[in-house]
Structure 1
């Protein structure tokens, strides 16, 4: 009778594969749990921010406070949990799972700061403030643009993509500001996104997705320029606004 215990393949190979397959499943399940809560907080913040298009500028304070307390603050706790857990595993193996959520959170923070929220100690409530990527990292308490170790971090690509989301939303706000009678805000937005687009032109980017999103910013610029042109024809832009 033949001895079936003698095989040409070491059973440990399959034991190793099974163990790693189970580990990946467990990691995936935990990430799904964290990111689901993370996205819920971001959706709450975005829901509140959707009201900026029908809220006068002088009444934005309470709305932005609500965005921060009910959306951004809980999201910071979630990203802290994600940072702690994901840093135990290769970053580029799993980062596709949270990339969109992180980008959305950065966008929420950018527009909140631009409208006067997330105030710094030096310039509280400043309209038109652009958060740098380092400031994003400080607020979220996570590293940015890591190159010396394999751990969770905020990437430059995520930040740039969030900036393109910001220009898209501000171009929409510029149009709605006219209907609310706040032409000064429309002019300020026009200057800001033009300056931002000019800055984008200095970048030498190799990521196709980022390049395409930056190319789309010119349409956001044109949309607002058309509004400004229409207002100018009607002599509706105050002299003070023109100087901005």
Structure 2
């Protein structure tokens, strides 16, 4: 066919074919480059998602271990509190000595697990997982310390006992102020029960000391809680704390008013009794 075309037409036709071949080649090259770029992008995204998935899986596994350790701390801290409640004027030293050993066991066996899991990490990410156990531990430690020394165990003193459990090369777990105050709020409830028991044993002086101590804690917290961030739990516990203060005050006041005639009976209808409304003992 090219034989019948003029030279100019043959040159034009050949140029057109050459141009189409270049366009096809360029299109194929561009498609290959785009495909390679897309594959590289997909590969980098898969790597990024894999890293995030691994991080989240490890965090969830750590959270489960922290929750388990926190439950163990809670359970064994309650045993320390129950041990202290066995105290009377006849066996105080013996009971407190046993409570001290139990508290040391909680620290070394169970709190240490929390410390190992949480040191060097962002504690606030998992705070909800371990906070209940820490609050119960603070309650047990401060309850024992008050019965032993008559004073309040401070946050710095508690945190100092956790330092030997940590790796010196990593940031250690330190109990925050909010968990400490929440533990103190629960402490007042245990002190209320202890005060009632001491009155029953005739230890009015010790009960009055407890009353002053609990009243001071409540008064100081009423100044702090309103300006705290994330204090909804604390504000709820303040109402319970006020009830504990009132029960101790009413009990001590009733003893002073009625003297030796004061014998608290469950189910009493006496308005001055701190046990009003409780069911009668079934014999």
For Structure 1 versus Structure 2, the TM-score category normalised by the shorter chain is: 0.7 to 0.9
Find the structure with the greater CA-based Rg: 2
Out of 105-114 and 29-38, give the one that drifted further. 29-38
TM-score when normalising by structure 2:
0.67
Aligned-residue offset at 1:142: 7.3
- 1:152 aligned counterpart, secondary structure: coil
What does residue range 32-111 of structure 1 map to in structure 2 within 5 Å? 32-52=67-87, 56-69=88-101, 71-77=102-108, 78-111=110-143
Match of 1:134? 156
- TM-score normalised by L of structure 1: 0.76
**Relative to 1, partners in 2 of residues 1:198 and 1:18: Cα closer, same or farther, differing over 3 Å?**
closer
**C-alpha spacing 1:26/1:132, structure 2 compared with 1 (3 Å):** same
1:68 is displaced (CA, Å) by 1.7
Moved over 4 A (4+): 5-9
Determine the C-alpha separation between the residues in 2 that align with 1:36 and 1:232: 42
| Matching residue within 200, 212, 217 for 1:179 | 200
Aligned with residue 213 of structure 1, among 237, 261, 269? 237
Structure 1 unmatched ranges of 5 or more: 117-125, 144-148, 238-244
Tell me if the contact between 1:90 and 1:151 (Cα under 8 Å) persists in the aligned partners: no
State the distance in 2 between where 1:175 and 1:138 align: 33
Corresponding residue of 1:157: 178
Offset from partner CA, 1:63-117 (integer Å, 9 cap, x none): 1111121x2112222323422331232211112111111111111110101111x
The answer to which structure has the higher helix fraction is 2
Segments of structure 2 that go 5 or more residues without pairing to the other structure are 1-35, 262-283
Tell me: CA distance 1:114–1:32, structure 2 relative to 1, closer, same or farther (3 Å). Answer: same
When residues 159 and 18 of structure 1 are mapped into structure 2, their CA distance, relative to the original with a 3 A threshold, is closer
Q: Contact conserved, 1:142 with 1:154, CA < 8 A, in 2?
A: no
Matched, 1:170 2:191: yes
- Tell whether the 8 Å contact from 2:182 to 2:234 is kept in structure 1 after alignment: yes
Aligned CA-pair RMSD = 2.9
CA distance in 1, matches of 2:93, 2:80: 14
Q: How many positions carry a matched residue from both structures? A: 216
Residue in 2 aligned with 1:240?
none
Cα contact 1:91–1:151 (8 A) shared by 2:
no
